[in-house]
Every structure is written in structure tokens, then in C-alpha cells.
Structure 1
């Protein structure tokens, strides 16, 4: 039976944060995929799969952060949930071999390739982010779209929306009372597919922070989609996430409340 509430005791049971990938489609529809990283299987699993595991204990809802996590007897003494204590997780020595699953953004906003650029701009503003993965029907990344891509598209489009010429046949439409030389045009929508970076640099959720830092520096990117064994997006890592982790590991107080890009 699934229960909600804190788990207290002398030896607290590990909590594993539930990650959420929200995918927006071109038809205005929205879907959400919730997963959790299993430290024993070393892969992502659905919450339903966790509940059927003999090690499953409960679902824990943290009221201050409004986050839900899976509590299970995994045998690990550490938790991948953020603590309210800003000093929590600070070690004497920086450990670059730590898994990036502990510092990545777990609630990811994704879009399908057919989503118009105007809607992407609205999502970036609404969620206060600077970029997002573009995913296919299976939730696998096919590109990345950033705020710079949206601004560049708006600049190239100018004040008027690009249009394409449409050939009309008398049998298709009601006759129009227009003079010879006039034509009917339909606007051409610029979509994520048109402006995204199609080459996706990504990492598996079991990768380490040092691998992520090296890859981001080598490729010159500020964000990486994090994928599971089946290639689906389960998180996103930004350069700010890495810097925040490094600062905390060095003993500096950095609040966890700021929005991530």
C-alpha cells in the first residue's frame, strides 16, 4: 500500500527524487512522464515499477519544496533529494566522480519538433528557463532549442511573418471577388524543427559530474539532456548546476531556490 508522509527514525531510509518530463506537442496537448533513478538497478524506473518492488517503502511528500520522492530500502546511506539545509552534502573534498543524477534538474520541459517558435518563447518565459530539449514521439532527444535560437528566428523573420504562395482551385474554395493580380497567401509557421540545434550532445544518467563538465567544455554547450537506458529524457544538466555543485562542495552557502537555465 502506498503511503504519504515523512519517514523518521534513527537510521533514515534513503529518498529518491521523482523526475518529471513534461512534453508539449504542436496540437497544444501535454503529456508527462515520471521516473525515478534506482541505485540498485542503476537505471530509471517508473513509479509503478518501484511500488511493485519488495524494497519499496512509501512515497514521501515534502511540503516546503512540494516535491515527492520514493522511499525504499536500497541499502544506500545517501539520498538524491535536495536538503533544506544548505550545508547538506558539502564534503571536505570535491568529488568529481559523483553521479550527475544528484545535481541535474529533474523536472524537464520538452517540446515536439512541430511546436511553433511563438509557443516555445512563451514556455521559456513562463518557466524562466533558457533552453529545452526537442523530443520525438518516444521522448528521445532530437535537438536542443535555446532562447538565442528563438531570438534569432524572430530577427530573421522581421516584422512580418514569412508566407508561402498557395495555388487555389475553383472547386476547393468559394469564389473570391478579387481583382486579377491578387493572390491568397497562408502564413508559414516557424517551428522547433526549423530553429533547433539538431546535433544532440547528451549523457546517460549514470555518468559522473566530471564527465559532464568535460563534455560541456569540449562541445561548448551550456546544457545537456540526461537520458535513461532507453534513450528518453529524464533530466537536464546546465553549466549553472555544475557551478552550484562545485561551490557547495567547497563549503559556500548557495540557496537551492533559484531557477535553473
Structure 2
């Protein structure tokens, strides 16, 4: 069996007295499209932040290509690159698209500006936004801002191959978008998985059913701090697991507590 790229072992996280994750085990495999679903407030985005190294767990260990992670945030020395696309795109309003996408290269590489602009143009072309490098985020639609954030997440430094992202983490990539814009983003996620210079492995948090069904190979259902169910999209349509059925149907009656 293929060795996992990333493993979470016994991961727990609490905020105050609220236990969000309770000894969670999770493996992520090469070229996998994994979606983490479940009700709001169950720790889905927390898992992404722990994988990205933005948040340290209270208990448990993270392994990257079999190596135990020993640092967090600025101390990370992971053997693979991990990029993250935030829910609100998280672009710098005062910077142009070019400066946003090429931010890390402008700040932390010795590449000439002309070369960075060329690399930015290539990434913008990949996400279907050629020729917009001189615009500011306020001049873009919500869907365009999402795609710019994708271009930034897959930006790599050609002088440092180890910095190229092998795994992308998507936090609600279609939240707040209309159905047509959501379809564009869903197609782009799959296109980037297959494209040279894209990223073949991704983990996504989403509530949107079209996004789950169109972009997932495997689904993890998280509730009560634990993984309660996992399977394929087809499995989710035929499962007799009551919480999964309730989640997809939107029924207020079931094991998932409804908050009004």
C-alpha cells in the first residue's frame, strides 16, 4: 500500500473547556482528493491549520512523509511543501494581484523582479486570469479573488524545489459564491490537481454539496471531535450512517444537534 504523505496520530485540540479534536487519526495519501465535512464548529478548519503548521495540537503527533514534525509555524522544516487557500482568500488589499501572488518571492528570494513577474503570469494563466497582475483585490469579483489565492498557493521558487507545494489545503473554497462561480472553482481545483506545476494532492473543508461531490475522492465526516465515518462520494449516497444522512439531507431531526 502507498505510504501516506501526511499522518495525524492521536491529535487533540481544545480551546478553553471546549474540546474540538479528540485523539484524531488521519492519513493523507499522494494524489488524493480528500474532503473533510461535518457540522460547523466541529474542528474541520482546525485540522487544516494543524496540517499547515499554523496551529500546534495539545496532544498527538504529525508525520510528513514518515518524518515526525518537530516544529511549528516559523520553525517548520517539512520535507514537502504545503500550501493553504483560506476561506476569504486573505489577499493584501494594498498590493496588486502581481504583488499578492508573488509575495513570498518578492520578500524572500533573490530572483529578479522581471523573473518573478513572469512566474506570476504563468500561475495567473493556470487559474484562468491572464493579464490582471496590475489590478487590486477590490477590483475583482469574489470568484476572481478565490482564483488569485489559488495562484498564490501554488507559487514556487525555482531556486528552491523543496518549497514547491505538494499538498494544497482548501478552507471552504466555494463559500459565498453563486452556483456558476462555484462550478468554475470546482473545475479549477480538479484542473490544478492534474496540471503540471499544479498540486496533485489536496485536502478540502467544505459544506457545499456540489463541491463535495465534484471534487472529492474520499470523504471524512467529523463530528464530536472524532472521525465518525469515511468513504467515497458513492458511499455517502448509500450509507445508513444516520449523521451522514442528516448532514446531506439538512434534516433538523437526527443525531446532529441543530442550533437555532
TM-score range for the pair, normalised by the shorter chain length: under 0.3
More helix by share: 2
Normalised to the residue count of structure 1, the TM-score between the two structures is 0.26
Normalised to the residue count of structure 2, the TM-score between the two structures is 0.26
